[in-house]
Chain A
């Protein structure tokens, strides 16, 4: 099956630093990737939709200057949390929608998630 790799799986950083999280589709091309965050015992909250070669579409309430998304290739999207603060501590998960080859079932393939802790 399709695989999405997310890195790093866990990161601890100091307040004020920036953290980059990578999301790669390993065996398929993904023109669209999604970034979510999940607080404990809550559902996934869509932050933004990342489109290859164009600007990301952010959900209401998500600061685009705070959460920089770059989708430079068909297999890689990155999320950079800039000037991280303790309230940014969360579980960030990416997913990719396979649209190349085969039928587009609408199925999403998720990365393993990245747990960010900001001290």
Chain B
């Protein structure tokens, strides 16, 4: 089983739609979780951290389920500018710090 697995894409949705991405991780020792956004041929940029209690930032909601070892990202009222690849990132801390990226899910929001 891969360390981090994401929904296979691509997702094509109309403007205004709600779309959700899931990401599962295999290592129960994972400590921190993030969603990054990557535009074509650009570097990834942090979208939001994912906290155990769940967190919201405008139209974006991230959730973490440690028992089932998955994180999710919900985008409400999607905009054309939300079109990008969304990467989930899982980190392990301590002296053996390591981070692992999911393969990414491509989202295209259509007018």
Binding between chains A and B: yes
Interface string of A35-54 (1 = CB under 8 A from B): 01000001111100100000
Interface class of chain A by DSSP: strand
B101 pairs with A110, CB closer than 8 A: no
CB A112 to nearest CB in B, in angstroms, measures 5
Closest A residue by C-beta to B98: A49
B91 pairs with A44, CB closer than 8 A: no
Interface size class on chain B is 20 to 34
CB A15 to nearest CB in B, in angstroms, measures 24
A44 pairs with B87, CB closer than 8 A: yes
CB A4 to nearest CB in B, in angstroms, measures 9
A106 pairs with B103, CB closer than 8 A: no
The residue from B43, B99, B100, B103 contacting A113, defined by CB atoms under 8 A apart: B43
| Residue from B43, B99, B103, B104 whose CB has the most chain A CB atoms within 10 Å | B43
A106 pairs with B91, CB closer than 8 A: yes
B93 pairs with A44, CB closer than 8 A: no
Is A24 part of the contact surface with B, judged by Cβ < 8 Å?
A: no
B100 pairs with A107, CB closer than 8 A: no
Given contacts A43-B104, A44-B87, A113-B42, contact A107 B49 (CB under 8 A): yes
A49 pairs with B43, CB closer than 8 A: no
Is A119 part of the contact surface with B, judged by Cβ < 8 Å?
A: no
Which of chain A's residues have a CB closer than 8 A to the CB of B104?
43
Chain B residues packing against A (C-beta within 8 Å)? 31-32, 34, 41-46, 49, 87, 89, 91, 93, 97-104
Chain A residues packing against B (C-beta within 8 Å)? 32, 34, 36, 42-46, 49, 91, 93, 97, 105-108, 110-113
